[in-house]
A and B are shown apart, each in its own frame.
Chain A
Amino acid sequence: QQQVKQSPQSLIVQKGGISIINCAYENTAFDYFPWYQQFPGKGPALLIAIRPDVSEKKEGRFTISFNKSAKQFSLHIMDSQPGDSATYFCAASRVSGGYQKVTFGIGTKLQVIP
């Protein structure tokens, strides 16, 4: 059962454009929503994260928009750069049975072209 649905699976954006990746979740018990960036051959690195009591969080060129009623959240990358080319994963996390359970989306491969 895919508890976190992510789209699109691939995205091509021109340099300077806005990259938008969307995620939807099912379980309302999730209480932490991180986005990870992963380069080939590397582990995922936390980019930005949000709690469900906040509708938007911005860090530099990266913004998370969160819609609790729709159970959806999205990552916006402003002024996209070739160095942003990577795979991005959304995730949803909750404490379950005494441990932090994290469920990842399938990933979005972003390519920023000059």
Chain B
Amino acid sequence: ETGVTQSPTHLIKTRGQQVTLRCSSQSGHNTVSWYQQALGQGPQFIFQYYREEENGRGNFPPRFSGLQFPNYSSELNVNALELDDSALYLCASSFTGRPRQFFGPGTRLTVL
């Protein structure tokens, strides 16, 4: 059974740029959630995807967007990067209707 994988591991961008982060779900999982974890904080829910559609969003602006593909993998896109977007971005997969989520190792984004 393959766990949740994310790429890239680290990324450095400058303010105003756009970034795409990628996530592969654990085998068989059909739901993907994305979280932002700032340094010294708990993960904050960004949004969740199921059946290739966003079905829930936290308190994040529209410049945070995502996609889910037929194989359940997912992308997180962030436009017009701001310094405060610097964080660890975590992807978690699960079976729909089941609360247990499995997290990937995260992508560390630094915005200069």
Contacts and interface: CB of A to CB of B under 8 A. Distances in A.
Nearest to B101: A102
Contacts of B100: 34, 46, 49
B99 interface: yes
Contact of B33 (A31, A43, A102): A102
Nearest to B91: A43
A60 interface: no
B8 interface: no
B99 A44 contact: no
Contacts of A31: 99
Given A93-B99, A99-B56, A104-B42, A43 B104 contact: yes
Contacts, number: 64
B41 A98 contact: no
B72 to A, nearest CB: 15
Interface residues of B, number: 25
B24 to A, nearest CB: 13
A44 B33 contact: no
Contacts of B106: 42-43
Nearest to B99: A32
Nearest to A98: B55
A44 B56 contact: no
Interface of B: 4, 31, 33, 40-45, 48, 50, 55-56, 58, 90, 92, 94, 99-106
Given A99-B48, A102-B99, 7 more contacts: A31-B99, A49-B100, A97-B56, A101-B45, A102-B101, A104-B43, A106-B41
17 contacts: A32-B99, A41-B105, A42-B105, A43-B90, A43-B92, A43-B103, A44-B43, A44-B90, A45-B103, A93-B99, A96-B56, A100-B56, A100-B94, A102-B45, A102-B101, A105-B42, A107-B42
